[in-house]
Amino acid sequence: MKFILEKNSGYTINGYDAVQITINHKQYDSNVIVSPQAVVTDKLPAVFTDLTLEHCQYLVSLPIEILIIGTGESTQLLPVEYQLLFSQKQIGLECMNTAAACRTYNVILTEDRLVGGVFFIP
């Protein structure tokens, strides 16, 4: 059986450490949102705990079916009322530490699913 490697048109995470994240070989030293169409660096607060309902309303407007949130060094959860917003829009939501979120995002991306990511740099 012959395997053909297809190039994925999405944004791939190439690396992550405590001070930066590398997406499609470009380094970012701030928190980022990754959607199928863009990398956005100006829509997030400095820390996960400052994420508001307004931030979440922006996130559910993205053309995604699942959102992976990297919450920093440790896993944190969104308040229930924020989680309900994603549920009402039928967007799957997973929160985990940022290192795990980077790996998970890449795996879901290879499945050709409409995945978005929010990555907080510790």
pLDDT digits (tens, 9 = 90+) for 50-103: 999 999 999 999 999 999 999 999 999 999 999 999 999 999 999 999 999 999
Locate the domains of the chain by residue range: 13-119
Q: Domain 13-119 is of which CATH architecture?
A: 3-Layer(aba) Sandwich (3.40)
pLDDT for 86 = 98
Q: Which of 119, 116, 113 is nearest to 27 (CA)?
A: 119
The CA distance from 94 to 76, in Å, is 10
Name beta bridge partners: 115: 66
Q: Which of 28, 27, 21, 79 is nearest to 49 (CA)?
A: 79
pTM: 0.91
